[in-house]
């Protein structure tokens, strides 16, 4: 198992399939994009499947989330999902996406064995979407989410980040729309993972701000810790249920004590935390011919050194050099 010195066990693997993205969200990367990884630096499809197999069969991982960048840009995605679905024991598999390519891929992903999707959508207003993402693709995301729902990739979860002066007034509208369309909405506090390092705690929209806004229209009943488990989102029943809304308060109410995640970057590095400043190389071991036992050992060593928390509240906190698109959300 992937145990750390604080007694936490990582069973949830986040796998970044690419650092590339077809949006340019202002809280993630600059308008001109980034210096992308070279193709030779990326893990191959076979290497990704092998590492997932080691994690599932040797290290106790039970959940696999495919991320990016934008994972739908990975040409071999359907094949990777299909091979991972054949593993014994079979992991629960999900995908975090911006939704643009879902309309054409949802059915194939479901047939390959994907269980569900998380789609990033911060606004219901196309003009605000264009400002936030620097792309006019709002309709593609809406259609992609509907395609995922119709394909059975459910529950379709919607991840929304509220930004001051842009969409900070939309929380109630987003929730009403999500409930109507049978999507599960989760608001995420903006985190210091932008490539520009422009994040500032002052002025950010907090979990408290979001809940205050939602309560102007809805009655929210908090679900207990037993319901939450190790999930990052605190959840509330909406008007008595069954619909729920979640808030991931990564900055103001961190949940590091219950963290059960391990992360694999697109170039084969283990990260113990989104905010980690160190990585452990598995790609080198793979390509030097290391057996599965050695790769599993290296992964265990990496996770044993996981820190107690993200360090966001420490005055000496340094934002990671690698942005969200390279780390995998």
For 286-322, letters b (16+ CB in 10 Å) and e give beeeeeeeebbebbbebbeebbebbbbeeeeeebbeb
18 HSE (CA, 13 A, CB side): 18
Q: Annotated binding residue at 183? A: no
Tell me if 21 is assigned to a ligand binding site. Answer: yes
Cα-based torsion angle of the residue sequence 207, 121, 243, 106 in order, rounded to the nearest 10 degrees? -140
d(CA 253, CA 43): 34
The answer to whether 262 is a known ligand-binding residue is: yes
* Residue 149 assigned to a binding site: no
Phi, psi of 15 (to 5 degrees): -115, 115
- The response to whether 69 counts as a known ligand-binding position is yes
Q: Do the annotations mark residue 65 as ligand-binding?
A: yes
- As a whole number of angstroms, the distance between CA 9 and CA 103 comes to 36
Longest dimension (CA), the chain: 59
Residue with tokens 């998380």: 118
Residue 29 assigned ligand-binding role: no
Q: Is 84 marked within a binding site?
A: no
Consecutive H or E run containing 246: strand 244-248
Tell me whether residue 57 is annotated as binding. Answer: no
Q: Does 244 belong to an annotated binding site?
A: no
Q: Is 216 annotated as a binding residue?
A: no
Beta-carbon count within 10 A of 216 CB = 8
| Residues in the annotated binding site for S-adenosyl-L-methionine | 27, 69, 120, 191
| Residues in the annotated binding site | 14, 21, 25, 27-28, 65, 69, 96, 120, 157, 191, 256, 259, 261-263, 273
| Residues in the annotated binding site for GTP | 14, 65, 96, 157, 261-263
| Residues in the annotated binding site for [4Fe-4S] cluster | 21, 25, 28, 256, 259, 273
């Amino acid at each position: 198992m992937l145990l750390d010195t604080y007694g936490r066990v990582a069973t949830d693997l986040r796998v970044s399939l690419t650092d590339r993205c077809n949006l340019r969200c202002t809280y993630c990367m600059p308008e001109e994009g980034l210096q992308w990884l070279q193709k030779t630096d990326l893990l191959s499809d076979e290497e990704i499947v092998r590492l997932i197999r080691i994690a599932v069969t040797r290290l106790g991982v039970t959940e696999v989330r495919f991320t990016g960048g934008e994972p739908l840009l990975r040409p071999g995605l359907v094949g990777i999902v299909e091979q991972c679905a054949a593993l014994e024991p079979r992991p629960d598999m999900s995908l975090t996406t911006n939704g643009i390519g879902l309309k054409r891929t949802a059915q194939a992903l479901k047939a390959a064995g994907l269980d569900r999707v998380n789609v990033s959508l911060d606004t219901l207003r196309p003009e605000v979407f264009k400002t936030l993402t620097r792309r006019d693709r709002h309709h593609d995301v809406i259609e992609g989410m509907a395609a995922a729902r119709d394909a059975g990739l459910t529950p379709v979860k919607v991840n929304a980040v509220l930004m001051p002066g842009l969409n900070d007034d939309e929380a109630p509208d987003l929730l009403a729309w999500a409930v109507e369309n049978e999507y599960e909405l989760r608001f995420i506090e903006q985190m210091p993972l932008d490539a520009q390092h422009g994040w500032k705690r002052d002025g950010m929209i907090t979990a408290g701000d979001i809940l205050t806004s939602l309560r102007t229209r809805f009655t929210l009943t908090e679900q207990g810790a037993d319901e939450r488990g190790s999930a990052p989102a605190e959840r509330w029943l909406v008007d008595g249920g069954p619909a729920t809304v979640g808030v991931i308060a990564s900055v103001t109410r961190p949940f590091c004590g219950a963290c059960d995640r391990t992360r694999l970057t697109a170039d084969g590095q283990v990260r113990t935390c989104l905010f980690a400043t160190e990585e452990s190389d598995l790609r080198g071991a793979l390509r030097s011919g290391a057996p599965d036992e050695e790769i599993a050992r290296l992964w265990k060593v990496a996770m044993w050194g996981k820190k107690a928390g993200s360090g966001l509240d420490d005055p000496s906190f340094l934002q990671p050099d690698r942005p969200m698109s390279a780390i995998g959300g």
